[in-house]
Amino acid sequence: MKHTLFLFDLDDTLLDFRASEHLSFERTLRALGLQGDIDALFRHYQAINVALWRSFEAGTVTKDFLKVERFRQTFAYGALDLDPQAASSLYLESLPQTVVLVDGARELCASLAAIGELGIITNGVDHIQKRRIASSGLDEFISFVATSEACGHAKPDTRFFDYAAGMARAFRREQTVIVGDRLDADILGANRFGIDSCWFNPAGIENTSLAIPSVEAASLREVIPALEALALA
């Protein structure tokens, strides 16, 4: 394998954020006194959250605004008299307690840590992401965590990748690869930064974007064989 520096996206690549998100959302609303079925409200929250994260990545909203606004809009939609600031605090506190690993994550990290250096690249909230990594048990394999909050720029901005590369023990562009599920953040960022990328695509989504992954993997168990094949190409 030619790669010695492996930059991993965190959510929906190594950690099953969708499962964690649902558990934390439910815990939050129950703590605020809401009873009954929350699934319809959760789906609306997810749509709001995705749109706000896209705005954050485009630099049009701040992360502090996003963290509260997603609940404000959700509660307005459901005509709920609940405090969005309190909901934001409860939700963020819950996330590190609801960590779910993507199948094969621990085995992949252990294998790659024996080959080279692993770093996490994430647009998530700095202290929350670090607590989630610690809760996941993957921290023993990870050399550094680069967050957009600490950097001041978000994926796919090349300044974020410059920041992440600067945290590595040794950075060589031709020996670095990004593994992530987001075409518009991880893969596009890799394209702009001039490094290899592995698109983690378990749902088999068709790529209709301008982002071009070097290789693709439908499961984490396919990542190493895909990277080995890339080295021989």
Strand pairing class (144-147; 117-122): parallel
Cis before 156? omega within 30: yes
Catalytic site includes residue 9: yes
Name the 3-class secondary structure at 90: helix
Which amino acid type is present at position 45?
A: Y
- DSSP strand E in the chain: where? 5-8, 117-122, 144-147, 176-180, 196-200, 215-217
Cα separation, 91 vs 24, whole angstroms: 6
Cα separation, 181 vs 198, whole angstroms: 9
Name the 3-class secondary structure at 100: coil
Cα separation, 97 vs 91, whole angstroms: 10
Cα separation, 187 vs 210, whole angstroms: 10
CA angle 74, 77, 83 (to 5 degrees): 50
R_g of the chain, CA atoms, integer Å: 18
Given the residues 9, 16, 181, 186, select the one marked as catalytic: 9
* CA nearest neighbour of 154 among 66, 218, 24, 219: 66
Which residues are catalytically annotated?
Answer: 9
